[in-house]
Each structure stands twice: as structure tokens, then as C-alpha cells.
Amino acid sequence: MDEKPLPWPEADSSIPGAFGASVEETQRAFDDAAPRIFSPAGTGPFRVQVGEVDDTGLRTCVLENDRAVTEYLNASREIEKSRDSLTGAVPSPKSTFFLLNPTFGWGRLMLSETSMRSILRHLHVFPAFLKHLTAFGEREFARDEGFAAYDIKEHLDGLQGRQSLETCFLWKYMQRDDGNAQHPWTIRQALVYQNFSCMTRTSTNILIRAPPQVTNRLKHNFSTGPESRDSVVADWLGVQKVWMSCGTEDWRQALNYYDEQITKLFDVLVMFSIETETAGDSKKVQQCISSMKELTHLVDQLLRMSHVLGLNSKIIYCMMNAARRYESAERRDAFLAFAETVQLEYDFLQQLAGSLLARGNNLSRQLRDIIAFRNSELNNRIATATSTSTGAVVELTSKSSHEARIVKVLTIVALIYVPASFAAV
């Protein structure tokens, strides 16, 4: 098999020596996972959305095959080559956004492996992004749902001046399914990559499985006006603020839904009578068992939600630390104030999930007690009925034995006296 080129950076780019030991490991993991992450070349669905933002506003296009991706990257490369030799400025500094989505919930990304490698090499993406990219693609269960990541890399020039910042992180959100699923809310995750140029105040971004709230907010900011556009494009923390500001309402609605489901099960529980003289106890036990199964699913989902809420809170904490380290005082303080507010919302949401978990576990114990009680009563009733039946059988056997002895005596008497009576005659 032909050796595949590294998907990041090209030969003229530098990789820190400290990361060299894990580059090969990351490469192998990516190569192994690639067949399940990307669509088959030439046959699978293909859709790469690209947005470019500059002083004139937002322009978008859709790349629908490998050739279109190659042509777009070549055109972008020609623009890069036209930089001014003194200032490094390009004719039209712009920020670029690549939006990638899977075919369905746990499906492959809608582009080929070849195109993805071309994009990664063109953007000079650092290896950490590749490691987190393996959390996507086809899978049979919610693999990597509980996995989180935040990475940041500072790039310096020869004079130790900051040229750019690379960041990537995994973000969890709730998605409402419109299908016929048993429960309408599902935990999803997105992967965000950003390479921010400190010289041109522009960025290159890859958003994998971004929720509609985020993409709609970005489009709104890009189209509203220069000030709104610059708040996202010209500030490396701007994209992160958009991600933080979207999603808490969906988490609240999802938790309200699970609160409602637990309340319904509690209402069913209090309607269960613990009296044992009714004839439908076995049916009520089955109802309790059915409720127990439903409650087990709800509790499991709440446990997962509580965990990923904590992960998002930790990601915000990492963003705040990065802002303290890499941002100027004015922008840093504004970002920290905003991030602390959002982090507090996630902490409150996690507390709500914990409260619902406690209610669910308490209800589960009550259901187990009812099931055990009813099973005990049913077993006692069966044992009593069995004992009564056994007693009746014993009594019937005793009577049968007595009657058999009487018949035996009568038979003996008949054998003695009947012949004697004939002899007397």
C-alpha cells in the first residue's frame, strides 16, 4: 500500500520537536480510523460548505466533489502567494470557515479522505486536531461521547513575536430529533478548529457538525455590520464566544423534558395500590417492571448529560485560562466576564441534572420495593394455595384409603358367608 502523506503541515512548515514523538502515533490512529470517518471516494455523499468573510461581508459556496475542493484550494493558494513582501498583507484579508457534517447522527463525514487531507495540509493544521477528528464517523454506540479536549498552540516568528494561535476543542450540545425516537433529545458533539493570524486579524476555521444555532449566529454576525463582523472575525476569542452563547437553552429544554418524564412515572407510582386482595397483582407487577425499565433509561441518560455538562464547563475553564495567557487586558477582561456567566449557567444546569438523578434514583428504589412486595405477596398466595391443594389431596387420599379398607372387609365377608349360605341350603 502506498505511504500516505502527513495530513499536516507541508514540508516547508515546522513542527515542534517536542511533539515529534507522538506525530507517528497520531498518524497511525488517523489512518486506521479514516475509512469509517470519511465517505468512499467517488461514490459517497459529498458536501463541503465554505464561507469567506472580509470587509465586504460574507460569501458562501458549496464544494460537491474532490475536483471542486482542489480548485478552491489552488485559488486560495494563489491569493496567499500574492502577499506584499513588506507588510505581508493580502489583497483582501479574509476569514474562512469550512463546515463539515455527517450523513446522519453517527454517519461518515460528507467528503472523501483525499479532500480532507488536502484541506488539512493547506491549512497547516496542527496534529492535535487529527487526534480529536477520530471521535467522528461510523460507530455502533455513543463512543467518545464522554471524551473532551481543548488544545492551543502559539506560533512565533524569528523575533519571538506572536504570528498566530491555533486552537481546537470538542463541544457537546443537545439536538432535538424530529423522528420517531423514543426520546426526542440526543447528545451530540462538535469539533472546532481555528488558526488565528495575529498579523491580519483573520482566521481559518473548520467546524465539524456545528449545530444550527451556531451557524445561524455566525451568519447573523457576518451580515449585520462591520462592528458585529469584527467581533467574531478580528478577535480570536470571538468564535469561542459564539459557541458558548449557543446551546444552554436546549440543555434547559432537554432537562425539563426528563423532569416531566420522571414526574409522570412518579404519578403512576402513587397510583399503584399496595393492597393484595385484588386479582390483578400480576398485571400491576408487569406495569411496575415496565416503569422500571423506562426509569432506568432516563437515569442513564441523565448521568450522561450531567457528565457532558461538566465537560463543557471544563472547556470554558480552559478557554478562560488561554485568554488570561494570550489576550490583552481589555479584551481578556470582557471575555472572562462573559465566560464566567456562561460557565455559571452550565454549573446550574449540571446541578439540575443532579437533582433529577436523585429523584430518579429515589423513584427507582420505590419501584423496586413495590415489585419485591408484590412478588412476595404473590409467592405467599401461591404457596398458600399450593398448601391448601396439598391438604385436600391428603384428605382425599385418606378417605380413599378408608373406603378401600371398607370394600376390602366387605369383600372378605362376602367370600366367607356367601359360600357358607350355599352350603347350608
Same domain? For 202 and 253 the reply is: no
Same domain? For 275 and 172 the reply is: no
Query: In the predicted model, is pLDDT for residue 220 greater than 50?
Result: yes
Write the CB contacts of 126 (distance below 8 Å, at least 6 apart in sequence): 8, 9, 151, 153, 166, 168
Same domain? For 316 and 278 the reply is: yes
Q: What is the predicted pLDDT for the residue at 223?
A: 86
Query: For the whole model, what pTM was predicted?
Result: 0.81
Please identify, among 246, 262, 290, the residue that sits at the C-terminal boundary of a domain.
246
The HSE-up count of residue 181 (CA atoms within 13 Å, CB side) is: 10
Residue 345's identity, in one-letter code, is: E
Residue 208 is part of a domain; what is its CATH number?
A: 3.30.460.20
Same domain? For 222 and 260 the reply is: no
Sheet holding 48-54, edge to edge: 57-63, 48-54, 95-100, 202-208, 185-197, 162-176, 150-156
Q: What is the predicted pLDDT for the residue at 54?
A: 86
pLDDT single digits (tens) 68-79: 999 999 988 887
Same domain? For 224 and 314 the reply is: no
Distance in Å from the first CA to the final CA of the chain? 120
In total, how many domains does the chain have? 2
Q: What is the predicted pLDDT for the residue at 256?
A: 96
**Which of the residue ranges 164-173, 230-239, 351-360 would you say has the lowest mean pLDDT?**
230-239
What share of the chain in percent tops pLDDT 70? 80
Write the CB contacts of 173 (distance below 8 Å, at least 6 apart in sequence): 187, 188, 189, 190, 211, 246, 247, 250, 251
Query: In the predicted model, is pLDDT for residue 15 greater than 50?
Result: no
pLDDT single digits (tens) 330-342: 889 999 999 999 9
Please identify, among 203, 231, 246, the residue that sits at the C-terminal boundary of a domain.
246
Q: How many C-beta atoms surround the C-beta of residue 143 within 10 A?
A: 11
User: Hey, what's the cell of 108?
Assistant: 461518515
Rounded to the nearest integer, the mean pLDDT of the chain is 83
Same domain? For 425 and 277 the reply is: yes
Cα–Cα distance, 98 to 112 (Å, whole number): 14
Cα–Cα distance, 276 to 158 (Å, whole number): 85
Structural domain including 329 reads 247-425
Q: What is the predicted pLDDT for the residue at 111?
A: 95
Question: What are the backbone dihedrals phi and psi of residue 97, each rounded to the nearest 5 degrees, phi first?
Answer: -125, 125
Query: In the predicted model, is pLDDT for residue 13 greater than 60?
Result: no
Query: In the predicted model, is pLDDT for residue 181 greater than 80?
Result: no
pLDDT single digits (tens) 111-162: 999 999 999 999 989 888 998 999 999 888 888 888 999 999 998 887 777 8
Same domain? For 144 and 290 the reply is: no
Following CA atoms 103, 109, 114, 115 in sequence, which dihedral angle do they give, to the nearest 10 degrees? 90
Cell numbers 464517523 correspond to what residue? 137
Q: What is the predicted pLDDT for the residue at 425?
A: 55
Q: What is the predicted pLDDT for the residue at 105?
A: 79
Same domain? For 29 and 160 the reply is: yes
Cell numbers 486536531 correspond to what residue? 129
Question: Are β-strands 150-156 and 95-100 bridged in parallel, bridged antiparallel, or unpaired?
Answer: unpaired
Average pLDDT on 51-72 reads 92
Asked whether 344 and 248 are in contact (CB, 8 A), the reply is no
**Which of the residue ranges 30-44, 145-159, 361-375, 379-393 would you say has the lowest mean pLDDT?**
379-393
Q: Rounded to the nearest 5 degrees, what angle is found at the Cα of 285, between the Cα atoms of 279 and 290?
A: 140
Q: What is the predicted pLDDT for the residue at 40?
A: 92
Please identify, among 246, 268, 285, the residue that sits at the C-terminal boundary of a domain.
246
